[in-house]
Amino acid sequence: MKHVLVIPGDGIGPEVIVPSVAVIREVTDAIDFEFVESGKKAFEKYGEAISDEVLDKSRKADAIFFGATTTVRDPKYRSPILTLRYELDLYANVRLARALLPGMRKVDIAIIRENTEGLYTGREERDLDGVTTFRRVSIKGCERIVKFAFSWCKSNSRRRIVCVHKSNVLRLSDGLFLDIFNTEAARNKKIASSEMLVDSTAMKMVMIPEEFDTIVTLNMYGDILSDLAAGMIGGLGFLPSANIGEKRALFEPAHGSAPDIAGKGVANPFAALLSGKMMLDHLGLRKESQALASSIERTVSNGSALFDAEGRCNTKAVIDAVREGLVEVSSAGKPAKTKAQAK
């Protein structure tokens, strides 16, 4: 039995995470889910956004299923997601941008980024003239994300990888990253490797997205490019992600808490569902993962009327359609339960 800690969070987080857990329970009974509080609501109730107790439970869990939390502009507020990334050393962020909606251009891009360094360390100093931000790029950080990326390509049958950087300007830091990539590429010649400047990458992703397979890059570049990729597949509501370390892993939809639409029932749950699929893969539940993926793809291909041009939808209608798809998948011989069996 696998133990998964669920942090629904704030805003639309619970609206997509809670029903996604219900869907996952229909494809497997091999996971024990435990729900805990973190985020803005927890900060307002307890004075801390993420408690030591939640951190301790996170360290013991086989995986974490995370919604989205709303940031509070208070010096005492500690971001749950950033805290978990650092405390659990979840150094690899994987975001999968794949076009599912009918009529869209072919997009199937994996963006793997270093998750604990760069500008996102948050180290800043103010002086009389302004603010200086410190950017950290270490040999260890570069080596392990590059090795992770090549290993991920092998495990997921990816044939091409591009190193995205800005070493023409940031010659020492990005130059270090590029050198380490080239060294690792020489050890993995079966995977076609190349390198590209981040600004050129952004342009070419829009013009010829089918040319991209896997991207490995540094923290901020990957964050920006993954949002660009989301815009090419219907929005952040279709973008799942994983944060992976040596011993721990956290799975989350890449969107935020979206307080402007919270409670309206229009949050797109596909990013959460697809993050759940990634979690099932990570836990070794491959057949169950494929059952969920099949139902998701069937729902999208048959239910384009569920979405508007910006990827918005009726959350409950989408969840119900995916659950119905699980019944159909089960009847076709896949390892999914029917809703009656799930009860």
Q: Which residues are catalytic?
A: 120, 166, 199, 223, 227
User: Residue 291 corresponds to which amino acid?
Assistant: A
Amino acid at 57: K
CB of 176 closer than 8 Å to CB of 229 = no
Q: 13-27 and 315-331 helices cross at what angle (nearest 10)?
A: 10
Residues 6+ apart with CB under 8 A from 266: 312, 313, 314, 315
d(CA 149, CA 242): 13
List of residues 6+ apart from 301 with CB closer than 8 A: 100, 102
Is 342:25 a contact under the CB 8 Å cutoff? yes
Sheet with 192-197, strands from edge to edge, namely 31-35, 2-9, 63-68, 249-253, 240-244, 92-98, 108-114, 214-217, 160-165, 192-197
Name residues whose C-beta falls within 8 Å of residue 227's C-beta, 6 or more positions apart in sequence.
Answer: 236, 254
**H helix or E strand, kind and range, residue 280:** helix 270-282
Report, in angstroms and rounded to the nearest whole number, the Rg of the chain calculated over CA atoms.
20
Return d(Cα 216, Cα 97) in angstroms, integer. 14
CA distance linking residue 44 with residue 29, whole number of Å: 35
Q: What angle do CA 131, 121, 243 make, to 5 degrees?
A: 150
Rounded-to-10 torsion of CA 8, 13, 14, 16 = -120
User: Which residues, in sequence order, are bridge partners of residue 243?
Assistant: 93, 250
| Site of tokens 């994983």 | 242
